[in-house]
Amino acid sequence: MTKTRVGVLFGGKSAEHEVSLQSAKNVIEAMDQEKYEIVLIGMDKQGRWYLKEDSDFLLNATDPTQIKLSKSDDEVALILGDGAEQLININDFKILEELDVVFPILHGPYGEDGTVQGLFKLVDLPFVGADVLGSAVGMDKDVMKRLLRDAGIPIADFLTYHHIEQEKIDFAEIKDRLDMPVFIKPANLGSSVGISKAANQAEFEKAIELAFQFDNKIIIEEAIEGREIECSVLGNQKPIASVPGEILPQEGFYSYEAKYIDESGAALEMPAKLADEMVKKVQECAVESFKVLCCQGMARVDVFVQEDQKIIVNEINTIPGFTKISMYPKLWELSGISYSELIDKLIELAIERYNNEKKLKTSFEFEN
């Protein structure tokens, strides 16, 4: 059997670089070596790509606070070759690998926001996960929330500010509109990086400064009281949802540390203890959000379930974490799809979408 050559791209330029390394380690370990020839491509924090050996591509791999890419001299670039997508050594232009599909495990800007997806489209290469539009929409919390709201899907009330408007942000006006506490978030980032919960003016001003360090656009969002429920979605045109899971934060909200560093930072209830009717509603809401936001392949949809059983959508994550404590693969395991089977399905979905798109016309011939 001919193996599928899969380029696994990880690292990246965003503040979620280390999370990506943890996710990549788990994905690579779970990939079926009988089915796949794995080509490891590490992207450093400057955006350079390096070919990695599978034996030592990470340093401090077991410590999420110290994990980093190993050094390599094989800097590469992706080009459209003669009938195949190729990696070349940029020093001598020697062809190194031909790829059948790419699995981008890049969290945050320059990896999850449509930028690298656009590159894959240009070189005619299948890739796992959302397309350019779905990736961009899923990353920008402001645009995401507006699309959900316009589709009639309940969301938290929020306000958006650009960096040039920072001096116009008025604490009293926001308190009157959204009440306290509020959440302040960079519009284009994930993994709870740069997010703060503010209950007074001092915390509010500090949180504004922090959020603007990570993005030129931020959102200020009302705090929602409710159970934090997450649901994994899988598929292209006919997506399905996993059983939901529940986050039980131990320190106010589900922080970066709780997600990726401190295994006791949050209790995970999997599956969530919900009535069958509510499970169905959460799954339907997750799938509807996935479709409204033009997603494909995979995503994790995060919602709040309030005491009156109302569901409020918080956000979508188009390249969810794949670390050993990440919800996305764990929920699929509970739903009957093992980690290795999930990877198979994601690669199959990538190739399916690519083949469907190849059937489309790219030129128009006028009749004489």
Q: Which residues of the chain have pLDDT under 70?
A: 1, 54-56, 60, 81-85, 190-191, 250-266, 366-368
User: In this predicted model, what pLDDT tens digit does every residue of 12-50 receive, in sequence order?
Assistant: 988 788 888 988 888 998 999 999 999 999 999 999 998
User: In this predicted model, what pLDDT tens digit does every residue of 256-291 receive, in sequence order?
Assistant: 555 545 555 568 899 999 999 999 999 999 999 999
Distance CA 228, CA 213 (A): 27
Residue 124: CA count within 13 A, CB half-sphere: 11
Domain count, the chain: 3
Instruction: Establish if 115 belongs to a structural domain.
Output: yes
Look up the pTM and report it. 0.89
pLDDT at position 194, please?
Answer: 86
Sheet with 49-52, strands from edge to edge, namely 95-99, 85-89, 75-80, 49-52, 36-43, 4-11, 101-105
Distance CA 50, CA 52 (A): 6
Same domain? 248 vs 327 = yes
Instruction: Establish if 365 belongs to a structural domain.
Output: no
> Quick check: 204 and 171 in contact, CB under 8 A?
yes
Same domain? 212 vs 298 = no
Same domain? 39 vs 16 = yes
Q: In which domain, by residue range, is 55 found?
A: 4-128
Residue 163's contacts (CB-CB under 8 Å, 6 or more residues apart) are 212, 216, 217
Reported as type and span, the H/E element at residue 299 is strand 297-305
Instruction: Establish if 368 belongs to a structural domain.
Output: no
As a whole number, the mean pLDDT across the chain is 89
CB count in 10 Å sphere of residue 63:
11
Q: Which of 98, 99, 79 lies closest to 90, judged by CA?
A: 79
Same domain? 12 vs 102 = yes
Instruction: Establish if 366 belongs to a structural domain.
Output: no
Same domain? 90 vs 185 = no
pLDDT at position 219, please?
Answer: 97
pLDDT at position 368, please?
Answer: 61
Same domain? 17 vs 108 = yes
pLDDT at position 51, please?
Answer: 85
pLDDT at position 116, please?
Answer: 95
Same domain? 95 vs 162 = no
Q: What is the CATH number of the domain that holds 44?
A: 3.40.50.20
